[in-house]
């Protein structure tokens, strides 16, 4: 069949940031597939140059309003990697809890507010508030609890306040944690089952394309905070060697750099993590995967949303575990004994020239921050590699594989399927256009 199709979706809606989809088919032959990124450049790496090192988490948090805790965590881990600082057990538990909370709020926002409207054939969650108020109220309740947990631990969401180098400037009270624990347990018993019922009833588009799946992997837990870089195609890479796996290049249709693996584009995010680490999920999350018919490995990118539903159940269970552990140990104010370093401590501690890398799983996949620090404690160089940047080339490959199989359908349906594909990846475009400093070859 020979057919001409010209699709140009200007500013894909219900994604974070500004992106266009451009497809050109002439006489049944696919000529052009582009996910154009038209977000304004941000130049975060340039902003960091010459700033005091403890400012890095505060500045890079502002890369993204959805995964601000993720950027803060990656930033702190890069600084601590460089400075040789090992935070306390309590700090690790608190950081892990707040990261789980942020991943959950991002996933809930994505699958309920940004993906679900497609399945109800409405343009947004706003008409759903009238037609399905129970669904929207449940979504808001789940998102609010996650936001509240970030708030009691880190001060607010987005842009955490109390997360600083080597600890927290403020510790939640045990009463606040006990209250959060109670609400988490209620959520697991009351809000999770109807969420699973809803998403088990949705029919995700059928499409499969095996790619390289990349995520952190850790021997003790489903990796978010810490781990080795694992690829289903190329094996393992240490976090400090991330550039062996990630190579960024400028493409003219994107203000965000595309990052690709040494051999071909790869996928990061919830489905990659699920494919690599699903045996480490908590029990209710494993049951949720079964209910949604999701088994590893899965090669359908539309099911990233289903993997997010599964992960959000895991996030709730992990927060319950982490908070119970914190309460069992008893919380103490460590700011007295440890040299926590807030952004504008009047005096910087003495620092020797050093560099470090932080690799952390954030809602959309693995995030890298790399910094060089000078003898005077100022940042001399910075690089941030964002999950969405890593996914862009893979999304284009998916579109290249998908379009020829759906050419016989009406143009509106092709457009919707492509928009749904892009949305499934949950692209965080303002994040990816933070502008990377790389060497050109």
Partner 1 sequence: MSKPKVGFFSFTSCEGCQLVVLSMADKLFDLLGAVEVVNFREASSYKGEDYDVAIVEGALSTVHEIEEIRAIRQQAKILIALGACAHIGGINCIRNFDNQFEIKKSVYGDKVANFDSILAQPIDAVVKVDYYSRGCPPNRDGEEFVEIVTAILQGKKPYIPNFPVCVQCKMKGNVCTFHKERPITCLGPVTRAGCSAHCPSYGNACIGCRGLVEEPNLNAHQETLSGAGLTVEESLKFYRMLNGMMEVGK
DSSP for residue 428: B
| In the complex, least distance from residue 83 CB atom to partner 1, rounded to whole angstroms | 17
| In the complex, least distance from residue 177 CB atom to partner 1, rounded to whole angstroms | 16
| In the complex, least distance from residue 287 CB atom to partner 1, rounded to whole angstroms | 28
Residue number with CB closer to partner 1 (28 or 123): 123
Residue number with CB closer to partner 1 (24 or 334): 334
Neighbouring residues of 244: CB distance < 8 A, sequence distance ≥ 6? 237, 262
| In the complex, least distance from residue 129 CB atom to partner 1, rounded to whole angstroms | 6
| In the complex, least distance from residue 114 CB atom to partner 1, rounded to whole angstroms | 8
Alpha carbons within 13 A on the beta-carbon side of 352: 1
Is 434 annotated to bind a ligand? Reply is yes
Residue number with CB closer to partner 1 (215 or 433): 433
Is 431 annotated to bind a ligand? Reply is yes
Q: Helices 89-108 and 304-329: crossing angle, nearest 10°?
A: 150
Write down the H helix ranges in 292-334. 304-329
Query: Tokens in use for 221?
Result: 């837990």
Residue number with CB closer to partner 1 (56 or 270): 56
Is 64 annotated to bind a ligand? Reply is yes
DSSP for residue 56: H
Residue 19 main-chain phi, psi, to 5 deg: -145, 150
Is 45 annotated to bind a ligand? Reply is yes
Is 428 annotated to bind a ligand? Reply is yes
**Residues comprising the chain, all counted:** 441
Q: Left if phi > 0, otherwise alpha if psi is -120 to 50, otherwise beta: which for 227? A: left
Radius of gyration of the chain (CA): 21
What's the burial of 272, exposed, middle or buried (CB within 10 Å: 0-12/13-18/19+)? Answer: buried
DSSP 390-407: HHHHHHHHHHHHHGGGGT
| In the complex, least distance from residue 49 CB atom to partner 1, rounded to whole angstroms | 8
Residue number with CB closer to partner 1 (12 or 276): 12
Beta strands 167-168 and 258-260 are unpaired
Q: Sign of torsion, CA 118 124 127 133?
A: positive
The residue ranges of DSSP E strands in 189-324, in sequence order, are 212-217, 228-231, 235-237, 247-249, 258-260, 266-267
Residue number with CB closer to partner 1 (153 or 360): 153
Residue number with CB closer to partner 1 (250 or 295): 250
Alpha carbons within 13 A on the beta-carbon side of 162: 20
Distance CA 390, CA 367 (A): 9
Residue number with CB closer to partner 1 (212 or 248): 248
| In the complex, least distance from residue 347 CB atom to partner 1, rounded to whole angstroms | 6
Neighbouring residues of 246: CB distance < 8 A, sequence distance ≥ 6? 259, 260, 261, 368, 385, 390
| In the complex, least distance from residue 386 CB atom to partner 1, rounded to whole angstroms | 12
Cite the annotated binding site by residue number.
Answer: 45, 64, 67, 428, 431, 434
Cite the annotated binding site for Fe cation by residue number.
Answer: 67, 431
């Amino acid at each position: 069949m020979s057919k001409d199709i010209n699709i140009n979706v200007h500013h894909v809606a219900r994604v974070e940031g500004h992106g266009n989809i451009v497809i050109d088919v002439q006489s049944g032959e696919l000529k052009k597939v582009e996910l154009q990124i038209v977000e304004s450049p941000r130049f975060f790496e340039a902003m960091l140059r010459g700033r005091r090192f403890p400012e890095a988490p505060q500045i890079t948090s502002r890369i993204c309003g959805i995964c601000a805790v993720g950027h803060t965590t990656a930033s702190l881990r890069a600084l601590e990697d460089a400075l040789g600082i090992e935070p306390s057990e309590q700090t690790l538990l608190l950081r892990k809890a707040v990261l789980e909370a942020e991943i959950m709020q991002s996933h809930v926002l994505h699958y309920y507010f940004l993906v679900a409207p497609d399945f109800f054939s409405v343009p947004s969650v706003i008409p759903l508030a009238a037609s399905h108020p129970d669904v929207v109220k449940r979504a808001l309740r789940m998102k609010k609890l996650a936001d509240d947990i970030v708030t009691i631990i880190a001060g607010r969401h987005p842009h955490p306040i109390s997360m600083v180098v080597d600890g927290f400037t403020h510790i939640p009270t045990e009463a606040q944690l006990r209250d959060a624990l109670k609400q988490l347990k209620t959520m697991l018993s009351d809000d999770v089952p109807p969420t699973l019922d809803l998403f088990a009833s949705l029919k995700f588009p059928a499409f499969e394309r095996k790619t390289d799946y990349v995520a952190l992997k850790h021997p003790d837990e489903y990796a978010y905070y810490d781990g080795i870089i694992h690829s289903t195609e190329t094996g393992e890479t240490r976090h400090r060697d991330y550039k062996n796996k990630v190579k960024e290049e400028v493409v003219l249709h994107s203000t965000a750099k595309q990052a690709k693996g040494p051999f071909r584009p790869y996928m990061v995010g919830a489905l990659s993590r699920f494919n690599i680490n699903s045996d480490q999920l908590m029990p209710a999350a494993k049951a949720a995967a079964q209910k949604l018919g999701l088994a590893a490995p899965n090669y359908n990118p539309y099911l990233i949303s289903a993997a997010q539903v599964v992960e959000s159940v895991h996030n709730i269970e992990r927060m319950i575990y982490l908070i119970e552990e914190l309460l069992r140990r008893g919380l103490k104010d460590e700011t007295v004994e440890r040299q926590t370093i807030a952004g504008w401590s009047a005096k910087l501690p003495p620092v020797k020239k050093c560099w470090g890398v932080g690799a952390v799983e954030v809602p959309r996949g693995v995030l890298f921050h790399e910094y060089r620090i000078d003898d005077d404690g100022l940042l001399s160089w910075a690089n941030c590699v964002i999950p969405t940047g890593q996914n862009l080339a893979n999304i284009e490959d998916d579109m290249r594989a998908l379009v020829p199989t759906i050419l016989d359908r009406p143009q509106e349906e092709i457009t919707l399927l492509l928009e749904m594909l892009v949305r499934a990846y949950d692209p965080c475009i303002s994040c990816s256009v933070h502008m990377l400093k790389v060497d050109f070859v």
